[in-house]
Chain A
Amino acid sequence: MTASAPFWPAFWPPFWRGFRALLPLWPGMVPFAVAYAVTARAGGLSVWETQLMSATVFAGASQFAAAGQFVGGGLPTVAGALGLVATTFLLNARHVLYGLSLSRTLPLPWGQRLVAAQFLTDEAYGVTVVAGPRDPGGLSVAFLLGAELSLYAVWNASTLLGALAGAVLPDPQALGVGVIFPLAFLGLLVPLLVDRVTLLVALVSGVGAWLLGRALPGGLVILLAGVGGAALGAWITTRRAGSRA
Protein backbone atom coordinates (compact mmCIF):
# COMPACT_ATOMS: atom_id res chain seq x y z
CA MET A 1 0.00 0.00 0.00
CA THR A 2 1.46 3.37 -0.97
CA ALA A 3 0.99 6.46 1.15
CA SER A 4 -1.44 7.96 -1.36
CA ALA A 5 -3.69 4.87 -1.67
CA PRO A 6 -7.02 5.09 0.18
CA PHE A 7 -6.56 3.44 3.57
CA TRP A 8 -10.02 2.46 4.80
CA PRO A 9 -11.65 0.81 1.74
CA ALA A 10 -8.74 -1.65 1.52
CA PHE A 11 -8.62 -2.29 5.26
CA TRP A 12 -11.12 -4.99 6.18
CA PRO A 13 -10.33 -7.89 3.79
CA PRO A 14 -6.64 -8.11 4.83
CA PHE A 15 -7.65 -7.41 8.45
CA TRP A 16 -9.91 -10.47 8.51
CA ARG A 17 -7.30 -12.60 6.72
CA GLY A 18 -4.84 -11.66 9.47
CA PHE A 19 -7.48 -12.34 12.10
CA ARG A 20 -8.20 -15.81 10.67
CA ALA A 21 -4.50 -16.63 10.32
CA LEU A 22 -4.29 -16.77 14.14
CA LEU A 23 -7.30 -19.10 14.56
CA PRO A 24 -5.18 -22.29 14.69
CA LEU A 25 -3.54 -20.85 17.82
CA TRP A 26 -6.77 -20.13 19.67
CA PRO A 27 -7.13 -23.59 21.28
CA GLY A 28 -3.70 -23.14 22.85
CA MET A 29 -4.51 -19.60 23.96
CA VAL A 30 -7.77 -20.21 25.84
CA PRO A 31 -6.43 -22.51 28.59
CA PHE A 32 -3.34 -20.31 28.98
CA ALA A 33 -5.45 -17.21 29.68
CA VAL A 34 -7.93 -19.12 31.85
CA ALA A 35 -5.06 -20.51 33.94
CA TYR A 36 -3.60 -17.01 34.33
CA ALA A 37 -6.95 -15.61 35.46
CA VAL A 38 -7.54 -18.43 37.96
CA THR A 39 -4.05 -17.92 39.43
CA ALA A 40 -4.48 -14.15 39.66
CA ARG A 41 -7.89 -14.47 41.33
CA ALA A 42 -6.53 -17.04 43.79
CA GLY A 43 -3.75 -14.57 44.63
CA GLY A 44 -6.22 -11.90 45.65
CA LEU A 45 -6.62 -9.76 42.52
CA SER A 46 -10.17 -8.61 41.83
CA VAL A 47 -11.97 -9.56 38.60
CA TRP A 48 -11.33 -6.00 37.37
CA GLU A 49 -7.60 -6.11 38.17
CA THR A 50 -7.26 -9.55 36.58
CA GLN A 51 -8.96 -8.25 33.44
CA LEU A 52 -7.09 -4.94 33.45
CA MET A 53 -3.76 -6.77 33.27
CA SER A 54 -4.90 -8.71 30.18
CA ALA A 55 -6.24 -5.52 28.59
CA THR A 56 -3.11 -3.42 29.18
CA VAL A 57 0.02 -5.52 29.76
CA PHE A 58 -1.22 -8.29 27.39
CA ALA A 59 1.83 -10.54 27.74
CA GLY A 60 1.23 -14.13 28.82
CA ALA A 61 4.52 -15.00 30.47
CA SER A 62 4.83 -11.83 32.55
CA GLN A 63 1.17 -11.98 33.55
CA PHE A 64 1.82 -15.47 34.87
CA ALA A 65 4.93 -14.31 36.70
CA ALA A 66 2.93 -11.47 38.25
CA ALA A 67 0.01 -13.70 39.23
CA GLY A 68 2.47 -16.01 40.97
CA GLN A 69 3.87 -13.06 42.95
CA PHE A 70 0.44 -12.06 44.17
CA VAL A 71 -0.14 -15.64 45.30
CA GLY A 72 3.08 -15.30 47.28
CA GLY A 73 1.22 -13.27 49.91
CA GLY A 74 -1.56 -11.05 48.68
CA LEU A 75 -0.56 -7.66 47.28
CA PRO A 76 3.22 -7.30 47.04
CA THR A 77 5.33 -4.90 49.12
CA VAL A 78 7.00 -1.99 47.34
CA ALA A 79 10.22 -4.02 46.94
CA GLY A 80 8.22 -7.01 45.68
CA ALA A 81 6.32 -4.84 43.23
CA LEU A 82 9.50 -3.26 41.84
CA GLY A 83 11.02 -6.71 41.40
CA LEU A 84 7.88 -7.73 39.56
CA VAL A 85 8.07 -4.70 37.28
CA ALA A 86 11.77 -5.37 36.58
CA THR A 87 10.95 -9.00 35.71
CA THR A 88 8.20 -7.79 33.38
CA PHE A 89 10.65 -5.44 31.68
CA LEU A 90 13.21 -8.23 31.15
CA LEU A 91 10.59 -10.69 29.93
CA ASN A 92 9.17 -8.23 27.42
CA ALA A 93 12.35 -6.58 26.13
CA ARG A 94 12.28 -9.16 23.30
CA HIS A 95 9.43 -7.17 21.73
CA VAL A 96 12.00 -4.59 20.63
CA LEU A 97 13.36 -7.27 18.29
CA TYR A 98 9.92 -8.06 16.86
CA GLY A 99 9.16 -4.39 16.21
CA LEU A 100 12.57 -3.82 14.62
CA SER A 101 12.20 -6.88 12.42
CA LEU A 102 8.66 -5.90 11.32
CA SER A 103 9.45 -2.25 10.74
CA ARG A 104 12.12 -3.10 8.17
CA THR A 105 9.48 -4.40 5.75
CA LEU A 106 6.43 -2.57 7.12
CA PRO A 107 7.21 1.08 7.88
CA LEU A 108 4.27 2.57 9.80
CA PRO A 109 3.29 6.22 10.30
CA TRP A 110 3.10 7.44 13.91
CA GLY A 111 -0.58 6.93 14.59
CA GLN A 112 -0.63 3.34 13.30
CA ARG A 113 2.57 2.58 15.19
CA LEU A 114 1.03 3.74 18.49
CA VAL A 115 -1.90 1.35 17.97
CA ALA A 116 0.06 -1.60 16.57
CA ALA A 117 2.54 -1.45 19.48
CA GLN A 118 -0.12 -2.09 22.11
CA PHE A 119 -1.13 -5.48 20.65
CA LEU A 120 2.22 -6.90 19.50
CA THR A 121 2.93 -10.48 20.69
CA ASP A 122 5.19 -13.43 19.84
CA GLU A 123 2.33 -15.10 17.99
CA ALA A 124 1.10 -12.06 16.02
CA TYR A 125 4.68 -11.22 15.05
CA GLY A 126 5.36 -14.81 14.01
CA VAL A 127 2.31 -15.24 11.82
CA THR A 128 2.57 -11.75 10.32
CA VAL A 129 6.21 -12.06 9.34
CA VAL A 130 5.62 -15.49 7.71
CA ALA A 131 2.06 -15.28 6.31
CA GLY A 132 1.87 -11.50 5.82
CA PRO A 133 4.09 -11.31 2.73
CA ARG A 134 2.05 -14.15 1.14
CA ASP A 135 -1.20 -12.22 1.63
CA PRO A 136 -2.78 -10.98 -1.64
CA GLY A 137 -2.21 -7.37 -0.60
CA GLY A 138 1.28 -8.10 0.72
CA LEU A 139 2.37 -7.35 4.27
CA SER A 140 0.08 -4.54 5.45
CA VAL A 141 -0.85 -2.79 8.67
CA ALA A 142 -4.38 -4.20 8.23
CA PHE A 143 -3.07 -7.79 8.22
CA LEU A 144 -0.86 -7.06 11.22
CA LEU A 145 -3.71 -5.50 13.20
CA GLY A 146 -6.01 -8.40 12.30
CA ALA A 147 -3.45 -10.90 13.59
CA GLU A 148 -2.81 -8.84 16.72
CA LEU A 149 -6.46 -8.26 17.60
CA SER A 150 -7.37 -11.90 16.96
CA LEU A 151 -5.16 -12.85 19.86
CA TYR A 152 -6.21 -9.84 21.94
CA ALA A 153 -9.87 -10.80 21.58
CA VAL A 154 -9.43 -14.45 22.57
CA TRP A 155 -6.94 -13.60 25.35
CA ASN A 156 -9.27 -11.09 26.99
CA ALA A 157 -12.43 -13.16 26.53
CA SER A 158 -10.67 -16.17 28.08
CA THR A 159 -9.33 -14.04 30.94
CA LEU A 160 -12.88 -12.96 31.74
CA LEU A 161 -14.09 -16.55 31.53
CA GLY A 162 -11.36 -17.70 33.90
CA ALA A 163 -11.82 -14.79 36.31
CA LEU A 164 -15.57 -15.34 36.59
CA ALA A 165 -15.93 -19.11 36.29
CA GLY A 166 -12.43 -20.48 36.89
CA ALA A 167 -13.31 -22.55 39.93
CA VAL A 168 -16.05 -24.55 38.18
CA LEU A 169 -14.29 -25.13 34.82
CA PRO A 170 -12.67 -28.46 34.01
CA ASP A 171 -8.88 -28.27 33.64
CA PRO A 172 -8.13 -27.80 29.92
CA GLN A 173 -4.47 -28.61 30.49
CA ALA A 174 -5.58 -32.19 31.06
CA LEU A 175 -6.44 -32.27 27.34
CA GLY A 176 -2.79 -31.65 26.52
CA VAL A 177 -3.46 -28.39 24.64
CA GLY A 178 -0.15 -27.02 25.95
CA VAL A 179 1.57 -28.78 23.05
CA ILE A 180 -0.19 -26.46 20.57
CA PHE A 181 2.22 -23.58 21.23
CA PRO A 182 5.43 -25.34 20.26
CA LEU A 183 3.59 -26.89 17.29
CA ALA A 184 2.42 -23.47 16.10
CA PHE A 185 5.89 -21.96 16.27
CA LEU A 186 7.36 -25.07 14.68
CA GLY A 187 4.95 -24.52 11.80
CA LEU A 188 6.27 -20.98 11.41
CA LEU A 189 9.87 -22.16 11.68
CA VAL A 190 9.82 -25.06 9.18
CA PRO A 191 9.32 -22.94 5.98
CA LEU A 192 12.22 -20.69 7.05
CA LEU A 193 14.74 -23.56 7.17
CA VAL A 194 15.94 -23.15 3.59
CA ASP A 195 19.70 -23.76 3.83
CA ARG A 196 22.47 -24.94 6.13
CA VAL A 197 22.94 -21.55 7.80
CA THR A 198 19.27 -21.22 8.83
CA LEU A 199 19.32 -24.83 10.08
CA LEU A 200 22.43 -24.14 12.13
CA VAL A 201 20.99 -20.91 13.55
CA ALA A 202 17.76 -22.71 14.52
CA LEU A 203 19.68 -25.55 16.14
CA VAL A 204 22.01 -23.28 18.11
CA SER A 205 19.33 -20.90 19.39
CA GLY A 206 16.87 -23.73 20.09
CA VAL A 207 19.28 -25.86 22.10
CA GLY A 208 20.85 -22.74 23.59
CA ALA A 209 17.44 -21.57 24.81
CA TRP A 210 16.75 -24.99 26.32
CA LEU A 211 20.03 -24.90 28.26
CA LEU A 212 19.61 -21.24 29.33
CA GLY A 213 16.05 -21.99 30.40
CA ARG A 214 17.29 -24.15 33.23
CA ALA A 215 18.67 -21.04 34.95
CA LEU A 216 16.73 -18.03 33.59
CA PRO A 217 13.07 -16.99 33.09
CA GLY A 218 11.46 -17.70 29.71
CA GLY A 219 11.15 -14.24 28.16
CA LEU A 220 14.75 -13.38 28.91
CA VAL A 221 15.84 -16.71 27.43
CA ILE A 222 14.01 -15.92 24.17
CA LEU A 223 15.71 -12.52 24.02
CA LEU A 224 19.22 -13.90 24.66
CA ALA A 225 18.85 -16.93 22.38
CA GLY A 226 17.16 -14.78 19.73
CA VAL A 227 19.97 -12.23 19.73
CA GLY A 228 22.65 -14.92 19.88
CA GLY A 229 21.22 -16.99 17.04
CA ALA A 230 20.59 -14.00 14.76
CA ALA A 231 24.11 -12.67 15.43
CA LEU A 232 25.57 -16.07 14.54
CA GLY A 233 23.62 -16.13 11.26
CA ALA A 234 24.60 -12.56 10.44
CA TRP A 235 28.26 -13.26 11.27
CA ILE A 236 28.38 -16.33 9.01
CA THR A 237 26.66 -14.68 6.03
CA THR A 238 28.44 -11.33 6.15
CA ARG A 239 31.83 -12.98 6.66
CA ARG A 240 31.13 -15.18 3.63
CA ALA A 241 30.03 -12.17 1.54
CA GLY A 242 33.13 -10.26 2.70
CA SER A 243 35.54 -12.99 1.65
CA ARG A 244 33.85 -13.28 -1.76
CA ALA A 245 34.14 -9.55 -2.46
Chain B
Amino acid sequence: MSGWLVIGLMWAVTYPARLLGLSLGRLNLPPFWLAFLRFVPVSVFAALVVPDVLGSPEWARRIVGALAGGLLMWRSRNLALGILGGFAAYWAARLAGL
Protein backbone atom coordinates (compact mmCIF):
# COMPACT_ATOMS: atom_id res chain seq x y z
CA MET B 1 0.00 0.00 0.00
CA SER B 2 1.37 3.42 -0.89
CA GLY B 3 2.96 5.53 1.81
CA TRP B 4 0.85 8.56 0.94
CA LEU B 5 -2.38 6.60 1.31
CA VAL B 6 -1.35 5.17 4.69
CA ILE B 7 -0.42 8.64 5.94
CA GLY B 8 -3.75 10.01 4.65
CA LEU B 9 -5.66 7.31 6.54
CA MET B 10 -3.66 7.98 9.72
CA TRP B 11 -4.61 11.64 9.42
CA ALA B 12 -8.23 10.70 8.78
CA VAL B 13 -8.49 8.91 12.15
CA THR B 14 -6.48 11.50 14.14
CA TYR B 15 -8.00 14.83 13.11
CA PRO B 16 -11.65 13.90 13.85
CA ALA B 17 -10.69 12.84 17.40
CA ARG B 18 -9.14 16.27 17.98
CA LEU B 19 -12.12 18.06 16.43
CA LEU B 20 -14.78 16.01 18.23
CA GLY B 21 -13.66 17.01 21.74
CA LEU B 22 -13.36 20.69 20.84
CA SER B 23 -16.87 20.57 19.41
CA LEU B 24 -18.60 19.20 22.51
CA GLY B 25 -18.08 22.22 24.81
CA ARG B 26 -21.69 23.32 24.85
CA LEU B 27 -23.04 20.01 26.04
CA ASN B 28 -25.08 20.23 29.23
CA LEU B 29 -23.34 17.77 31.49
CA PRO B 30 -24.46 16.33 34.84
CA PRO B 31 -22.28 17.18 37.89
CA PHE B 32 -20.39 13.87 37.73
CA TRP B 33 -19.11 14.57 34.20
CA LEU B 34 -18.25 18.19 35.02
CA ALA B 35 -16.14 16.92 37.93
CA PHE B 36 -14.72 14.24 35.63
CA LEU B 37 -13.45 16.89 33.21
CA ARG B 38 -11.92 18.93 36.03
CA PHE B 39 -9.86 15.86 37.00
CA VAL B 40 -8.71 15.09 33.44
CA PRO B 41 -5.52 17.22 33.58
CA VAL B 42 -4.39 15.66 36.88
CA SER B 43 -4.95 12.09 35.77
CA VAL B 44 -3.54 12.58 32.27
CA PHE B 45 -0.37 14.36 33.44
CA ALA B 46 0.27 11.68 36.06
CA ALA B 47 -0.29 8.96 33.44
CA LEU B 48 2.24 10.69 31.20
CA VAL B 49 4.88 11.15 33.94
CA VAL B 50 5.00 7.93 35.95
CA PRO B 51 5.49 5.35 33.15
CA ASP B 52 8.10 7.61 31.55
CA VAL B 53 10.10 7.61 34.81
CA LEU B 54 9.52 4.17 36.34
CA GLY B 55 9.24 2.35 33.00
CA SER B 56 12.48 3.76 31.59
CA PRO B 57 15.65 1.61 31.44
CA GLU B 58 17.41 4.47 33.28
CA TRP B 59 14.64 4.76 35.89
CA ALA B 60 16.98 5.26 38.87
CA ARG B 61 18.48 8.47 37.42
CA ARG B 62 15.09 9.64 36.25
CA ILE B 63 13.64 9.25 39.75
CA VAL B 64 16.40 11.51 41.08
CA GLY B 65 15.70 14.05 38.32
CA ALA B 66 11.94 13.90 38.86
CA LEU B 67 12.24 14.31 42.65
CA ALA B 68 14.57 17.30 42.31
CA GLY B 69 12.49 18.85 39.51
CA GLY B 70 9.22 18.22 41.36
CA LEU B 71 10.55 19.81 44.57
CA LEU B 72 11.85 22.86 42.68
CA MET B 73 8.54 23.30 40.86
CA TRP B 74 6.58 22.90 44.08
CA ARG B 75 8.66 25.61 45.82
CA SER B 76 9.16 28.00 42.88
CA ARG B 77 6.09 27.38 40.65
CA ASN B 78 8.45 27.87 37.73
CA LEU B 79 8.32 25.33 34.89
CA ALA B 80 11.64 26.23 33.22
CA LEU B 81 13.51 26.26 36.55
CA GLY B 82 12.04 22.88 37.46
CA ILE B 83 13.03 21.33 34.14
CA LEU B 84 16.57 22.74 34.32
CA GLY B 85 17.04 21.70 37.96
CA GLY B 86 15.61 18.25 37.31
CA PHE B 87 17.83 17.79 34.27
CA ALA B 88 20.89 18.87 36.30
CA ALA B 89 20.00 16.40 39.06
CA TYR B 90 19.51 13.67 36.45
CA TRP B 91 23.00 14.36 35.11
CA ALA B 92 24.50 14.49 38.60
CA ALA B 93 23.02 11.04 39.26
CA ARG B 94 24.29 9.81 35.91
CA LEU B 95 27.83 11.09 36.53
CA ALA B 96 27.73 9.58 40.01
CA GLY B 97 27.21 6.23 38.31
CA LEU B 98 23.57 5.66 39.27
Are A and B physically bound partners?
yes
| Chain B residue total in the interface (Cβ 8 A) | 69
Contact residues of B: prevailing secondary structure: helix
B64 CB → nearest A CB, Å: 10
Residue A183, interface by CB 8 Å: yes
| A-side contacts of B90, CB under 8 Å | 176, 179
Complex CA gap A122/B48 in Å reads: 9
The 8 Å CB contact of A189, one of B15, B26, B46, is B46
**Which residues of B have CB within 8 Å of A84?**
6, 10
* Chain B residue at minimum C-beta to C-beta distance from A76: B1
A75 and B11 alpha carbons, distance in the complex (Å): 17
Given known A-B contacts A99-B21, A100-B21, A126 and B45 have beta carbons under 8 A apart = yes
**Which residue of the partner chain, among B3, B42, B70, B77, contacts A201 with CB atoms under 8 Å?**
B42
Q: Closest chain A residue to B94 by CB distance?
A: A176
Q: How far is the CA of A182 from the CA of B68 in the complex (A)?
A: 12
Report the interface size class on chain A: 35 or more
Taking a contact as CB atoms under 8 Å apart, the answer to whether A238 and B35 are in contact is yes
The minimal Cβ–Cβ distance linking B19 to chain A, given in whole angstroms, is: 4
Q: Which residues of B contact A52 (CB under 8 A)?
A: 4, 7
Check: A213 CB closer than 8 A to any chain B CB: yes
Interface residues of B in 48-76 (CB under 8 A from A): 48-56, 58, 61-62, 65-66, 69-70, 73-74
Using known A-B contacts A57-B10, A118-B15, A234-B36, determine if residue A75 contacts B2 with beta carbons closer than 8 Å.
yes
Closest-CB distance, B47 to chain A (whole angstroms): 4
Interface residue A92 (Cβ < 8 Å from any Cβ of B) = yes
The reply to whether A209 and B23 form a contact with Cβ atoms under 8 Å apart is no
Interface residues of A in 84-100 (CB under 8 A from B): 84-85, 88-89, 92-100
What are the residues of chain B within 8 A of A102 when measuring CB–CB? 21-22, 25
Q: Mark A215-244, 1 if CB is under 8 A from B, else 0.
A: 000100110011111111111011001000
Residue of B nearest to A113 (CB): B22
Q: Counting CB contacts under 8 A, is A135 at the interface?
A: no
Q: Which residues of B contact A56 (CB under 8 A)?
A: 7-8, 10-11
- Tell me if A229 and B39 are in contact (CB < 8 A): yes
Q: How far is the CB of A207 from chain B (nearest CB, A)?
A: 6
Say which residue of B14, B19, B43 sits within 8 Å of A62 (CB atoms): B14
* A183 & B46 in contact (Cβ 8 Å cutoff): no
Contact B20 A206 (CB under 8 A): no
User: Are A205 and B47 within 8 A (Cβ)?
Assistant: yes
**B residues with CB within 8 A of A:** 1-11, 13-15, 17-26, 31-56, 58, 61-62, 65-66, 69-70, 73-74, 77, 79-80, 82-83, 86-87, 90-91, 94
What are 14 A-B residue pairs whose CB atoms fall within 8 Å in the complex? A62-B10, A88-B10, A99-B22, A118-B18, A176-B58, A185-B49, A188-B45, A189-B42, A192-B45, A193-B42, A198-B39, A205-B43, A206-B51, A213-B55
